């Protein structure tokens, strides 16, 4: 693919989103959200609870099973100044599972609110977990761009860092909601199938699913597969440059099992539940292509890499290369990372159908939608605005089936 990002102007991927169309709170019932159906140029609407009617039985739905962590920690200095630490990703140890199991100390990459007021190197907070008082300390170690490397230590090794976050952390709801997180967010800003902790933003396409909807999928013999991509705060980063060539895409880490990859090969059609699943699936294809071309495994897909690799390798050959690599190295889970930027002109290798919410103007997520359904993205968003759909993370849903 030879598509010059300097020719993609972000102003062409904008629209007027009134503030009152942004859903500040979720609906009482997840599956009662509106559903826009885009089917090869035709647009209709329904309720999400009926979505199985539009998906064939020979399809495989791919869910991102990541779990949102209570990533925001508030400290108060003796002067009264509030310092908020937003945990982005673990640094030492870097593995998410191991990081959450730590019982004495851990280092995280964080965004610090009111950083100018944090002049010394230590903050402390007395917290209570099950009638036990614990002193939690935070120390600045170093800077990394706009982020800080923070070391957390605590005085009671009975409790893990995961338990500390669950007890005193706040839900990292999106900044465009313009409100503080509330008790309801701890449950509703989480998919019902979330499992593996690590995200600081929800894979919001999945927020509409209920056990009722999943049961309907099973009755129709729609297949299920899970991947894990830990969603980073960079997902909310708007494109501020004139063209996308100057925009730096964020990196996100993902895990896919060998069994899932085998099932992706068998699948006649793949339905991605959300843009995070899209990014994972498409990155998976390019990992296999690089393996075939370079004869060694490179676990990262950089921002423009997919557009520079000349490849006519099909999905089956690419994924089989990954399976062979995993078998030869006795690996059941593929751990990798992606910085892939999907924009108009990209040719999708893995994903046939997409379920997703309605995204911000001037965002990389909207660019992905435009890449998936072409210029009809304007028609879709005009329909949604005209028909009183709710937008962004707690908003309504869409089912996108591109023109053949």
Predicted pLDDT at 132: 87
Determine how β-strand 82-92 pairs with β-strand 34-39: unpaired
Report the Cα 77 to chain-centroid distance in Å: 33
DSSP 82-132: EEEEEEEEEEES-SHHHHHT-SSEEEEEEEEETGGG--SSEEEEEEEETTE
Can you tell me the distance from the alpha carbon of 219 to that of 207, in angstroms, rounded to the nearest whole number?
A: 21
Backbone angles phi, psi at 23, to 5 degrees: -75, 110
CATH class (in words) of the domain with range 5-67+188-401: alpha beta
The structural domains of the chain, with segments of one domain joined by +, span 5-67+188-401, 72-169
216 Cβ contact list (under 8 Å, min separation 6): 52
Q: Which two tokens stand for residue 311?
A: 């490849």
Kindly give the confidence (pLDDT) of every residue in the chain, 404 residues in length, as a single tens digit, with 9 standing for 90 and above. Answer: 567 888 899 999 999 999 999 999 999 999 999 999 999 999 999 999 999 999 998 899 999 999 999 999 999 887 778 999 999 999 999 989 899 999 999 999 999 998 888 887 689 989 888 888 899 999 999 888 888 999 999 988 889 999 999 999 999 999 899 999 999 999 999 999 999 999 999 999 999 999 999 999 999 999 999 999 999 887 777 888 999 999 989 889 999 999 999 999 999 999 999 999 999 999 999 999 999 998 889 999 999 999 988 778 999 999 999 999 999 999 999 999 999 999 999 999 999 999 999 999 999 999 999 999 999 999 999 999 999 999 999 999 999 999 87
pLDDT given at position 35: 98
Residue 345 per-residue DSSP state = T
**Alpha-carbon span 144 to 111, nearest angstrom:** 10
DSSP 8-state code for residue 381: H
Q: Tell me the whole-structure pTM to 2 decimals.
A: 0.93
Backbone angles phi, psi at 177, to 5 degrees: -75, -20
Place of tokens 């880490």: 253
Dihedral sign for Cα atoms in the order 362, 365, 366, 367: positive
DSSP symbols for 240-278: -SSBGGGPPPPPEEEEEEHHHHHHHHH-SEEEEESHHHH
- CA dist list (Å): 176 to 24, 120, 179, 359: 9, 31, 8, 11
Q: What confidence score (pLDDT) does residue 7 get?
A: 87
In the prediction, which pLDDT does 384 show? 98
What pLDDT is recorded for position 145?
Answer: 84
pLDDT for residue 78: 77
In DSSP notation, 202-221 reads --GGGGG--HHHHHHHHHTT
């Amino acid at each position: 693919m030879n598509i010059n990002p300097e020719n993609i102007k972000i102003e062409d991927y904008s629209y007027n989103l009134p503030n009152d169309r942004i859903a500040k709170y979720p609906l009482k019932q997840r599956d009662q959200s509106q559903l826009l159906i885009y089917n090869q140029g035709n647009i209709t609407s329904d309720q999400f609870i009926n979505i199985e009617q539009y998906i064939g039985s020979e399809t495989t739905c791919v869910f991102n099973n990541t779990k949102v962590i209570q990533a925001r920690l508030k400290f108060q200095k003796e002067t009264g100044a509030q310092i908020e630490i937003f945990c982005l990703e673990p640094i030492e140890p870097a593995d998410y599972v191991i990081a959450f199991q730590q019982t004495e100390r851990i280092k995280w990459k964080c965004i610090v609110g009111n950083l100018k007021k944090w002049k010394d190197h230590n903050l402390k907070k007395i917290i209570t977990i099950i009638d036990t008082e614990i002193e939690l300390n935070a120390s600045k170690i170093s800077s990394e761009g706009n982020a800080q490397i923070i070391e957390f230590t605590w005085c009671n090794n009975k409790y893990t860092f995961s338990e500390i976050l669950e007890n005193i952390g706040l839900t990292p709801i999106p900044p465009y909601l313009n409100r503080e997180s509330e008790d309801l967010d701890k449950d509703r800003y989480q998919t019902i199938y979330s499992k593996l902790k690590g995200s600081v933003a929800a894979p919001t396409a999945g927020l509409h699913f209920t056990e009722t909807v999943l049961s309907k999928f099973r009755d129709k013999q729609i297949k299920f597969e899970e991947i894990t991509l830990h969603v980073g705060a960079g997902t909310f980063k708007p494109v501020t440059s004139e063209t996308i060539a100057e925009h730096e895409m964020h990196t996100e880490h993902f895990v896919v099992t060998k069994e899932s990859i085998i099932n992706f090969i068998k699948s006649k059609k793949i339905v991605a539940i959300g843009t995070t699943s899209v990014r994972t699936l498409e990155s998976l294809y390019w990992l296999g292509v690089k393996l075939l071309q370079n004869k060694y495994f490179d676990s990262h897909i950089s921002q423009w890499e997919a557009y520079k690799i000349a490849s006519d390798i099909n999905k089956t050959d690419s994924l089989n290369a990954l399976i062979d690599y995993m078998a030869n190295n006795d690996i059941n889970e593929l751990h990798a990372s992606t910085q892939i930027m999907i924009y108009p002109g990209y040719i999708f290798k893995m994903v046939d159908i997409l379920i997703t919410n309605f995204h911000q103007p001037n965002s990389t997520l909207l660019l992905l939608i435009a890449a998936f359904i072409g210029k009809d993205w304007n028609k879709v968003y005009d329909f949604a605005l005209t028909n009183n759909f709710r937008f962004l993370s707690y908003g309504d849903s869409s089912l996108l089936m591109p023109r053949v």
